[in-house]
Structure 1
Amino acid sequence: MKKILLTCLLAGFFQLNCFLHHANVSGDFYGAKNLVSLNFGDKARSLPIKIEFDTREKNFIFEKLRKKGQNIKVDPNLVEGYYSEEIISNFRSSKLFNHNPDANIKVRIYSTIEEVRDPVLTRIPNIITLGLFPAITRTYGRVEFELFDDKTNTILKSFKYPIHHRMFLTAGAFVLGPILPMFSNRFDHSQNERTYAIMRVAFQQFEIDLHDTLQNNEALLAKFTVEKPSVFAFLPFQPEKPPETEVYPILYSELEAAFVARGLKLVERKELHKVFEEITFSQTGLTENSRNKIGTMLNADRVIIVSDLKYVPAQNARPMELGFSVRCVDVKTGRIIWTEPSKYQSYEKLPLHSHVNSAIFPFISELRMRGEI
């Protein structure tokens, strides 16, 4: 009796901590279809691109599934597989692509999970066999890659991939989990419902399809160019109320350092201060006259403006708060190139520099994720 109980406990332990994932693009025979090896010695090598991956849809995905009749409980980690930053890592490690913020072509990535199927039929044999037979949760979604021409503001081509993902909850994953991913990136092993396999298979298929397309499309290949690097004027900012601490100068310096570290070409501070007093703002931002002055006097193509500054020191049980919003504006047209807010709170007693850096990090990461810097 003790042996049976021990066996049940061990099987339960292995099952609860081992998830085996398998993902494939629908139509490729569950991943068994041989993928053509890329020949990087040809004309399509090292394409300059920018990447845009907006993951904000995942905040509404549970409501979307509910409206479609998916009333089962969906673990957030299961959803994360369709919005994983693994896709960005794949682009940056690929020999076919060269990430460049001044590239003309932007690859826009859209991803969504459309259906989740609970392991209703497989749960019973999973219990009877003490986890040897897998309980299989299935998800269906889609990953789309869109080639966008920044110069003409047009979509050149789209690549859409339906995704089929299976998650095996089984004691066997404890043995097979570390082995199968060594032979195929369609498999992944984790201790929760999150997986990188979905984005890996989508990227691999896109890489192959784009490579093959460019071999027969000289006009599309010619679009992958690098524009002259833009010059940015990062305007000094002033809070509405005089600061009681050095938080705003620190914030400006750290943002400036972060932009430079990401390769942005900034106008020197001393040059900015010479014309800053001549720049006027309207309620909506820079006036047309001010933009023209910046373009003429500083040779700047774009302006970076910080607004909505808010700093509240920690008091008693209240956390320290730091908030700001940053937008980038085209000098010639006044078009907003990108905008990103940041809100930060902390109860920890840290140096002000540490708090500022903690507030900046997710802000820079989001811009990097969207391919803006």
Structure 2
Amino acid sequence: MAFDFALTRNPAPATPARLQEILADPGFGVHFTDHMVTAEWTHDAGWQDAVVEPYGPVTLQPHAAVLHYGQEIFEGLKAYRHEDGSVWLFRPEKNAERFERSAARLMLPILPAADFVSSVTALVEIDERWVPSAAAGEYSLYLRPFMYASEAFLGVHPAQEVTYRVIASPVGPYFATGAVEPVDIWVTTTYSRAGAGGTGAAKCGGNYASGLIAQQEGYAHGCSQVLFADAASGSLLEELGGMNLFLVTADGQLLTPELSGSILEGVTRDSILVAATELGLTPVERKIELAELFDGLASGHIVETFACGTAAVLTPIGSFRDEEHTWAVGTGSIDHTLAIRTYLTDVQYGRRPDTHGWLTKVV
């Protein structure tokens, strides 16, 4: 059944002055809009009780299944203000499709793609004033749809009661200085992000929680992110803690690890593979050995590397490190990285024609 949202307005929304203060320096995930979307699912009745309601605390029984068994998934996407004041989403149907795949893997109910998109759209429409101005620069409204097992039951089985919500947070540029700056990557040889048959291809909290210890290890070595290898052999590139990885070669190839079932299928990743050919690069998805990466960096065959995801779009990588070595990337040039990043952000903010039909207008 398609969602038909009831609306309960927030009786105490942010004042114009407070909203202006927030939008001037929103940070990331610090401030949230006046409303949220909620819908409930039960095994017997299916999806019901869809509402746009005031943002506020969530109540759960102490024995709610999600608190004990981690049965939950989430998504992340953004709404962008264009120069004419209109507001657009970037490929929300791809997030909806991934949400369906994540739900199937975690034994949660399937939320139809049309309802996913309508729920996100409904929240942006009611809280449209929270979408930062195009004049502000690389600002946007980050949207976080999520689903969790709200059934109060201590027992290991697929939840019979589930809650779906969407919240939104205005966010500033990923790079606080405004300049796109290379980061250093720690190559963990101790920890794995996901294994064959696991949940690596699903966007669920457990994947991120299990990577925190490796992330902390990277911080201790002065690095901003962690590169994980495959769990079986420890020899194949997979992805960073929350971002996909790309390599640019001297002969114009754009390499990225092929989807293996333990790599998250990023929306930004897919968009880059499409855009690459228009920018003179040949996209290649295949298995990539860690040794190939390190040898390519040493020989100069790999000239740029970058990570990608919704938050940063593209982040250039300056070096890779482990306990014994540091491999610098190229000569410091990030021309290809910047060209791809500019291509995507120009589409997102309406500065470049949307020739692929990636944008969905909200208001």
Q: TM-score range by the shorter chain?
A: under 0.3
Larger Rg: 1
What is the TM-score of this pair, normalised by structure 2? 0.27
